[in-house]
């Protein structure tokens, strides 16, 4: 090997392990463009492509059929890596959810929210019931060549007296070969969890991530699954230590990252979040 080739090889090997991950697979959760989608689904997709994204995660198909939505994605060279599907839709007709995901060319079917009694909270019994459903749905998705995943929303991290959270129960009682996880960093930090520790604790289970920051000064320890839009800020402007999170995410096996902007001015904030993330080394 020449000295130049040896130098290049050593240089590459010295780069942080996460260098290729979040830069090369930074996409957009299309819920970020929810207001535009209400006016024009195709305009929202134009914006996603115009921001420079090639990977997206869907949150419905707006006013288009699944097949039409797939064609509009392809026309803009957008790839639907994952689809969000409601718990209710999966309960009612998982075959249709799978068929739609395959039409869109997705690899993942993700449940983004769990129905629960707000007054009672999300209980250990709820977690056990959900885990059983997840194993069954995961098996169906696997048989169809898809991966099934779950996106916790904050209320799953309220610990019992023994320190165990409902999310811990879901993770323990689901088959890792059938059920993976999507971390939304905002909904991990808000209830008082450490995203780096959680990535390490369930390393290998986290395949996707929502990149979303929490306003500095926002009160933590909230387990309602809700927060005002003003608490959702430009990535890099909030409380999250993103270099540490991205490093831990790559080590834990996260494969796709999606900016999800639920703030007040997403069309202004999305490019600023991209700029910050792309600027990290």
| pLDDT tens, the chain, 281 aa long | 444 343 333 333 333 333 347 888 999 999 999 999 999 999 999 999 999 999 999 999 999 999 999 999 999 999 999 999 999 999 999 999 999 999 999 999 999 999 998 888 999 999 999 999 999 999 999 999 999 999 999 999 999 999 999 999 999 999 999 999 999 999 999 999 999 999 999 999 999 999 999 999 999 999 999 999 999 999 999 999 999 999 999 999 999 999 999 999 999 999 999 999 999 98
Residue 11 lies in a domain: no
If DSSP codes are grouped into helix, strand and coil, which group holds residue 56? strand
Nearest to 274 by CA among 213, 200, 201, 206: 213
- Both tokens assigned to 178: 């059938």
Q: Look at strands 256-259 and 213-214 and give their pairing.
A: unpaired
Residue 12 lies in a domain: no
Taking the C-alpha atoms of residue 92 and residue 227, their distance in angstroms, rounded to an integer, is 29
Residue 117 lies in a domain: yes
Residue 63 lies in a domain: yes
If DSSP codes are grouped into helix, strand and coil, which group holds residue 197? helix
Cβ partners under 8 Å of residue 86, min gap 6: 111, 112, 113
Residue 14 lies in a domain: no
* Domain region containing 64: 19-279
Residue 3 lies in a domain: no
Residue 137 lies in a domain: yes
Residue 7 lies in a domain: no
Query: What's the pTM?
Result: 0.91
Nearest to 183 by CA among 199, 170, 172: 199
Taking the C-alpha atoms of residue 273 and residue 100, their distance in angstroms, rounded to an integer, is 30
CATH for 256:
3.20.20.150
User: How many domains does the structure of the chain reveal?
Assistant: 1
- Both tokens assigned to 62: 């707006």
């Amino acid at each position: 090997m020449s000295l130049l080739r040896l130098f290049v090889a050593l240089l590459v090997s010295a780069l942080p392990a996460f260098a290729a991950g979040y830069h090369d697979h930074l996409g957009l959760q299309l819920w970020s463009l929810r207001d535009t989608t209400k006016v024009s689904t195709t305009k929202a997709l134009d914006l996603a492509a115009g921001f420079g994204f090639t990977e997206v995660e869907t949150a419905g198909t707006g006013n288009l059929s699944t097949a039409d939505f797939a064609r509009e994605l392809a026309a803009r060279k957008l790839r639907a890596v994952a689809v969000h599907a409601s718990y209710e839709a999966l309960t009612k007709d998982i075959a249709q959810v799978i068929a739609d995901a395959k039409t869109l060319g997705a690899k993942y079917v993700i449940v983004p929210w769990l129905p629960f009694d707000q007054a009672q909270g999300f209980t250990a019994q709820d977690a056990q019931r959900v885990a059983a459903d997840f194993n069954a749905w995961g098996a169906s998705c696997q048989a169809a060549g898809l991966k099934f995943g779950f996106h916790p929303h904050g209320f799953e991290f309220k610990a019992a007296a023994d320190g165990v959270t409902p999310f811990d129960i879901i993770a323990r009682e689901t088959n890792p070969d059938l059920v993976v996880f999507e971390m939304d960093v905002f909904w991990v930090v808000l209830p008082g969890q450490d995203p780096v520790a959680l990535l390490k604790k369930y390393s290998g289970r986290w395949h996707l991530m929502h990149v979303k920051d929490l306003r500095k000064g926002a009160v933590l320890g909230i387990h309602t699954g809700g927060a005002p839009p003003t608490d959702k800020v430009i990535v890099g402007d909030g409380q999250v230590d993103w270099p540490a999170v991205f490093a831990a995410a790559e080590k834990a096996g996260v494969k796709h990252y999606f900016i999800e902007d639920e703030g007040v001015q997403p069309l202004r904030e999305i490019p600023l979040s991209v700029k910050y993330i792309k600027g990290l080394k």
